[in-house]
Structure 1
Amino acid sequence: MQSLKGKKPIPGTIVFDGTQAVKGYPLNKMCFSFNKAENRDAFKADEDAYCAKYGLTDEQRDAVKKRDVLALLNLGGNIYYLAKLTGMFGLNMQDIGAQQAGISLKEFKAKLFAAGETKNG
């Protein structure tokens, strides 16, 4: 694995490093639990109690309530684990990409289409 030391970060990019992993451990552990249908059902039945069971911080719990994927990423969420959670919210990777870009889903899809046209045209 290549080290990021001495490299310029990409603006707006959250690097999932050891610090982020520690910060997001409870959140990511909860998201991993969603591999089981009964856990997804328990979360849907009482989100707050389920978040409390895993020891999420107040900020993480608030971001879950608000469906704020960017905040969850900043609070230590790993996108691969968050995919289970965001899927339950009805969000896909394009929805998340639009949030990260700060544009609407329609605008994001248009950007993707235009980039594909440029590359293939």
Structure 2
Amino acid sequence: MSRRRGVEKFLYHYDKDADLRQKFAADPRAVQVDFGLSDEERDALERRDVVQLHMWGLHALLVRNFAGFLKIDYVSLFREAGIAD
């Protein structure tokens, strides 16, 4: 696991827990408290910055699933950032 364990833990639970997804939609900062995230990590999640999550080396399936739940076209964003073919 990457050095950003808290973010990966959050993304894992976000993928598995519909209640967490609803709470995140209502108040992103409040649900992140239990995951020990830095300000930078919290900001990236609040911005739904899947490019940054990818650049940090987080597990690709966790990033993909996070983007999917939020209906983010992550492939287009990766291309714009120059990190996809």
Q: TM-score, normalised by structure 1?
A: 0.56
Instruction: Indicate if the aligned counterparts of 1:60 and 1:75 stay in contact, CA closer than 8 A.
Output: no
C-alpha RMSD of matched pairs (Å): 2.4
Q: TM-score, normalised by structure 2?
A: 0.75
Percent identity (aligned) = 24
2:9 is aligned, of 10, 29, 35, to: 29
Give matches, 1:4-15, under 5 Å: none
Q: Distance in 1 between matches of 2:74 and 2:65?
A: 11
The C-alpha deviation readout for 1:61-92, integer Å capped at 9, x for no partner, is: 11112222222223342211122221233114
Instruction: Indicate if the aligned counterparts of 2:50 and 2:74 stay in contact, CA closer than 8 A.
Output: no
Runs of 4+ in 1 over 3 A off after TM superposition: none
Q: Distance in 1 between matches of 2:56 and 2:33?
A: 16
Q: Mean alpha-carbon deviation: is it higher for 91-100 or for 34-43?
A: 91-100
Deviation of residue 28 (structure 1)?
Answer: 0.9
Instruction: Indicate if the aligned counterparts of 1:24 and 1:78 stay in contact, CA closer than 8 A.
Output: no
Unaligned stretches of 5+ residues in structure 1: 1-20, 103-107, 113-121
Q: Alpha carbons of 1:26 and 1:99: their partners in 2 closer, same or farther (altered >3 Å)?
A: farther
Deviation of residue 27 (structure 1)?
Answer: 0.7
The size of the alignment, in residue pairs, is 84
Unaligned stretches of 5+ residues in structure 2: none
Larger Rg: 1
Q: Distance in 1 between matches of 2:2 and 2:28?
A: 22
Q: Distance in 2 between matches of 1:30 and 1:50?
A: 9
Larger RCO (CA within 8 A; separation ≥ 6): 2
1:45 maps to 2:23: no
